[in-house]
Amino acid sequence: MRFLFIFLVSVSLMSCGATVAVDYDKETDFTQFRSFNFYPDIDSGLSALDNARIMRITDSLMQERGFTRSENPRLLINFYAEEHISNSRSTIGVGVGQSTGNMSVGVSGGIPIGSRTINQLLTVDFVDAKRDRLIWTAEINGELKERFTPQQKEVYYLFVLKKMLAKYPPEE
């Protein structure tokens, strides 16, 4: 049952048209970067739990791609998010009216249903640790429900980070 739930959440996230915007330093030779670590004092604007999720997922994805986490890295990774909360776009309409002859009067309104949505712009930066210079950055817009469970957040961050890191290193 849990697998089915995670699968359904994954499919719904994949159907979202989130696109990744990437920028990088064209003068950089990206083949020299094989070790990484995170900035020690990341101020992402997210909760400590979300920071830990993002770091754990990024660590795993980078190691899958042959990078090594090191205390003396060539790449330093930073991330931060901007969030805006919007009310649910789903509503139930309620209306009352009266009609007499050629004249009618009516009043209606919408009652929002569902939870609010968090619109999140997540940015990941890769910095050359030797030169202390930004060499690659990626941004992705995504939506997550305010009441996501920890498992749903895990699936969401795995999806967006995989999509972002698929663009690294940039193709020449």
In terms of residue numbers, what domain contains 131? 18-87+115-165
d(CA 71, CA 40): 11
Q: Is 14's pLDDT higher than 90?
A: no
Residue 103 lies in a domain: no
CB neighbour list of residue 103: distance below 8 Å, 6 or more residues apart: none
Q: How confident is the model at residue 126, as a pLDDT?
A: 98
How far is the C-alpha of 164 from the C-alpha of 21, rounded, in Å?
A: 8
Please provide the distance, in angstroms rounded to a whole number, between the alpha carbons at the two ends of the chain: 44
Q: Could you give the number of structural domains in the chain?
A: 1
pLDDT in tens, 24-59: 999 999 999 999 999 999 999 999 999 999 999 999
Q: What is the pLDDT of residues 92-122, one digit of tens each?
A: 666 666 777 777 767 666 666 667 788 999 9
Q: Is residue 94 part of a domain?
A: no
* Structure tokens belonging to residue 141: 């817009």
Q: Taking the mean position of all CA atoms in its chain, how far away is CA 88?
A: 19
In a domain? residue 38: yes
Is residue 11, in this structure, part of any structural domain at all? Answer: no
Model-level pTM?
0.75
CATH of the domain at 31: 3.30.160.670
